[in-house]
Amino acid sequence: MTMPKLKLACHLVSVFLCFTCVWAQDTKYPPQGEQIPGPAVEGDSHCCWRADQDHPTAEAFREWLADITHWRRERLIRIGYDGSEYGRPELRWTQSSFIQPQMMIHDRYFYDPLAGRYTVDRYLDDLDKRYGGIDSVLIWHTYPNIGVDDRNQYDLLHDMPGGLAGLRQMIADFHRRGVRVLFPVMVWDQGTRDPGLPNWEATAQAMAEIGADGINGDTLDGIPRAFRLASDRTRHPLALEPEGGPPDEAVAWNNLTWGYWKYPFVPMISRYKWLETRHMVNVCDRWNRDKTDNLQYAFFNGVGYESWENIWGIWNPITPRDAEALRRVAKIERAFADLLVSSGWEPHTPTLRYGVFASKWPGATQTLWTIVNRNEFAVTGPQIQVSHQAGLHYYDVWHGTELAPTIEGGTAILRFDLEPKGFGALLATRTLGAKEKQLLVEMRELAKTPLQSFSHEWHFLPQRLVEMAATKPARVAPPGMVKIPEADFRFQVSGVEIEGGDDVGVDVQYPWENSPRRHHLHVMRIKPFYIDRYPVTNADFKRFMDATHYHPKDDHNFLRHWHSGSYPAGWEKKPVVWVSLEDARAYAAWAGKRLPHEWEWQYAAQGTDGRLYPWGNAWDASAVPAAETGRSMREPTDVDAYPKGASPFGVMDLTGNVWQWTDEYQDEHTRAAIVRGGGYYQPQGSGWYFPQAYKLNEHGKYLLMAPSIDRSAAIGFRCVVDAE
């Protein structure tokens, strides 16, 4: 090799070694996503452990703790960590925000549309009763409805009932109950109306206006620092909570995160809690039906839980057993929040029994241990051996009793019981304060009923169809209507929800079904009826308004496109929009009509041959209006502009112009309307916008809260009349 080539090779090797040094950090336990593996245990595959093998050995524990402690020390240096954000008094609440549900604004426990008021106390009383209450709430006002029209995330916030004043009072009601309030920010929302400001500025201003406490960054692996700076400029600082795991350096200004974790038999520890013990993680596993792993890992790590049940209008309830475990876990964590931020946290502190794992949380005068039994059987007798000093007392906090330790030299052996897949908590202290004494009294009373006595069975939430009264039967077709003959109809349709898979509870439950589900097939006899040839137009609705002077109680966004009591020039043949389901029902009642059942709408559009589109099985772009893909919507098309879109019965404008109201479904927590026909507005840039359903075997499920926010620039309606 020539000298120049040798020099070049040496240079390349040195560059490679340099980059290796930059990117490598020596550890036997490298983080796996948001977690760090626990200490090595022989047989930790949970299949081959033998009684003569420790779990782990004291030596293995010391080696593991030294390794991850070294990793943390070096990692904090590498990222130039500054923990000053955690010392800010206005953000310190995050360090005890253990239980935080994501709550849909459409939850019927949160808002009463008939009374026109927020029902915060009803919502919180239910959670207090079922699982002991919450510390903060993430109020979700956007997805899955966002994108049905061009309203952006800030528009939807302002469209919530009561406007800014109503939102401020609602948040004050949460604060009165000691609950902090967060809202989401969607940086992916770049396809709807441009707010005219960077997202961080628009978000900071909106949250300051209503007095919210923090934001959740939907789909974000770390909320950018720009949001921290923008909220500080408003003098209303916000806590920042990304959905995903942020880069380590972002932990400095992201005070909270969600925990998307794995759950092997040996508990893993939170990467971010280990880097900064004041950081709060809310473990999130929203579709999981058994919360045991989630709650055990949260308790072991001294962090919180995302008690999310209303998932985009799909109810995934916490079982009674999990709810009771959550109540007790949260009660202990709240009582010892100051210890659970201890910089001396010692995860996997040694225990005496296989499958029992403990974290040690030392404080100035007290030490707490949070303990989980990963076994499927009870473990009783001696559980842990701890350092002992004269004058120390030991309490089984989980059962609310003082323990009688066995003293051996400078150690104390503690005996207590752990239920199958259960929890334990120990406190070492010289004296008990009044709050701790009260906690022991409360835990002792709760412990009289073991967790295993509560049902762990999961149940879906049944739905019901909101009935529609029949109209006076007509002998001949009323003006503008088409007769649809009696027939046996094969009603086949699927919901286009983005999430939920084919799980029970997704989509809706028709009257002939025994549970909600996504895919539906039913052969039914449909009686004859008449249906509007065209959707109700602005001119049609103007006649209704002139005759009745109708004015809804909740009038925000009502006929938003009208001015001075009438529609814009040239809009007389366009479908009326900005009308709620209630507004449409009022028009129908005045006209002696009703809204169609979904299967009636589909039969009128499809006929009996199962076609995919009103005109046939092949897509024909000339049969529908062109899609609007810009950030601002153009106006709808005249209802008679696309005659090629006619159905076999001659019904027009069924798909591709505006969505159309049909049936409403309710369960205990959610109201939703089935909308048919798809809409011409199709915002771009994200797969999270309200999905389209042009095909006649698909429908949209539109969550309902209140007329103010339910009204849309992309939803209209047509009516039917029963036939003799």
Residues 395-412 have pLDDT tens digits of: 999 999 999 999 998 999
| 402 found inside a domain | no
Q: Report the 10 Å Cβ neighbour count for 347.
A: 26
Please determine, for residue 197, whether its predicted confidence score (pLDDT) is greater than 50.
yes
Q: How far is CA 499 from the centre of its chain?
A: 11
Picking from 49-58, 222-231, 427-436, 692-701, which range would have the lowest pLDDT averaged per residue? 49-58
Asked which of 238, 259, 280 is the last residue of a domain, the reply is 259
CB 665 within 8 A of CB 463: yes
pLDDT score of 26? 87
**Cα separation of 64 and 414, whole Å?**
24
| 1 found inside a domain | no
For 442, which DSSP code? H
Asked which of 211, 235, 259 is the last residue of a domain, the reply is 259
- When mean pLDDT is compared over 23-27, 58-62, 386-390, 558-562, the highest value belongs to 558-562
| 421 found inside a domain | no
Please determine, for residue 2, whether its predicted confidence score (pLDDT) is greater than 80.
no
Q: Report the 10 Å Cβ neighbour count for 639.
A: 24
Of 312, 357, 325, which Cα lies nearest the Cα of 506?
Answer: 312
| 418 found inside a domain | no
**Cα separation of 588 and 572, whole Å?**
18
pLDDT in tens, 493-512: 999 999 999 999 999 999 99
Q: What is the mean pLDDT of the chain?
A: 94
Tell me the pTM. 0.94
| 616 found inside a domain | yes
Phi first, then psi: what are they for 574, rounded to 5°?
A: -90, 150
Number of domains in the chain: 2
pLDDT score of 25? 79
Percent of the chain topping pLDDT 70: 94
Q: Report the 10 Å Cβ neighbour count for 3.
A: 7
pLDDT score of 56? 65
**Cα separation of 308 and 299, whole Å?**
17
pLDDT in tens, 646-670: 999 999 999 999 999 999 999 999 9
**Cα separation of 173 and 2, whole Å?**
79
Which class for 272: exposed (0-12), middle (13-18), buried (19 or more C-beta within 10 A)? buried
Picking from 15-29, 52-66, 414-428, 611-625, which range would have the lowest pLDDT averaged per residue? 15-29
**CATH code assigned at 673:** 3.90.1580.10
Residue 634: CA atoms inside 13 Å, Cβ hemisphere, count? Answer: 11
Q: Report the 10 Å Cβ neighbour count for 126.
A: 16
CB 722 within 8 A of CB 470: yes
Of 226, 258, 255, 225, which Cα lies nearest the Cα of 239?
Answer: 255
Of 144, 508, 127, which Cα lies nearest the Cα of 312?
Answer: 144
Residue 1 banded pLDDT, cuts 50, 70, 90: very low
Sorted by sequence, the CB contacts under 8 Å of residue 474 that are 6+ apart come out as 530, 721, 722, 723, 724
Peptide bond into 683 cis (omega under 30): no
The angle subtended at Cα 499 by Cα 494 and Cα 502, nearest 5°, is 50
Asked which of 243, 259, 275 is the last residue of a domain, the reply is 259
Q: In sequence order, what are the beta bridge partners of 396? A: 401, 426
Q: Which domain holds residue 679?
A: 464-722
Residue 177 banded pLDDT, cuts 50, 70, 90: very high
Q: How far is CA 332 from the centre of its chain?
A: 25
Q: In sequence order, what are the beta bridge partners of 259? A: 283
pLDDT in tens, 4-45: 444 444 454 444 444 434 455 789 999 999 999 999 765 444
Of 345, 336, 328, 329, which Cα lies nearest the Cα of 433?
Answer: 336
Over residues 430-459, mean pLDDT = 97
Over residues 76-105, mean pLDDT = 98
Residue 488 banded pLDDT, cuts 50, 70, 90: very high
DSSP secondary structure letters along 582-622: HHHHHHHHHTT-BPPPHHHHHHHHHTTTT-SBTTBSS--GG
Over residues 374-391, mean pLDDT = 96
| 425 found inside a domain | no
Alpha helix positions (H), 79-224:
120-131, 153-158, 163-176, 199-210
671-676/659-666 β-pairing:
antiparallel
pLDDT score of 55? 59
The angle subtended at Cα 39 by Cα 28 and Cα 407, nearest 5°, is 140
| 40 found inside a domain | no
Please determine, for residue 57, whether its predicted confidence score (pLDDT) is greater than 80.
no
Over residues 368-378, mean pLDDT = 98
Amino acid letter for position 45: S
Peptide bond into 320 cis (omega under 30): no
Over residues 514-541, mean pLDDT = 98
pLDDT in tens, 313-337: 999 999 999 999 999 999 999 999 9
| 412 found inside a domain | no
